[in-house]
Amino acid sequence: MEKTLPPIPAKRYFTIGEVGDLCGVKPHVLRYWEQEFTQLRPMKRRGNRRYYQHHEVLMIRRIRDLLYDQGFTISGARNKMQELLQLERDKKRSGEDMLDGVEVVEMNSEDMDEFDALMAGDADEACSMPVAQLRRELFEIRELLLIAD
């Protein structure tokens, strides 16, 4: 049942249909999983419409992998998800870096001045910092913040 899933677009909220397409499961399965996995709590709006955030889409993909690819039962997958969430909480408490896999660039005072100038809108002073590099770093930060929610 190994199937390549599409990349998750950079959006804040996803409908149940979009999540179903992104995760390779049908909407009724997602509604069932909400009952079985208490960590999965999409926001509900008008008419009980569900809106999932990025971290919930990742969680659904993890649940799907446990159930469909690794052969866990619902109960086993629920226990595994609780273990994984507890590990993440422990990492946060112990102060471990959540920047695994992200390139950390050290900035000297000159780089910081250029960055401050760029953020203040002084483009002449900030022209030596490549916009593409700054944009990439901001996207990485945004992804980390979405996952941490």
3-state secondary structure of 108: coil
Q: Specify the CATH number of the domain 14-94.
A: 1.10.1660.10
Domain positions in the chain are: 14-94, 109-148
Question: In 3-state terms, what secondary structure has residue 52?
Answer: strand
Contact of 21 with 38, CB cutoff 8 Å: no
Distance CA 50, CA 41 (A): 9
pTM over 0.95: no
Q: Which residue is associated with the tokens 């950079």?
A: 10
Reference 103, options 132, 138, 137; nearest CA is: 137
Per-residue pLDDT of the chain (149 residues; tens, 9 = 90+): 456 889 999 889 999 999 999 999 999 999 999 999 998 999 999 888 999 999 999 999 999 999 999 999 999 999 999 998 888 888 878 765 555 555 555 566 666 666 666 666 655 544 555 677 777 788 788 777 777 65
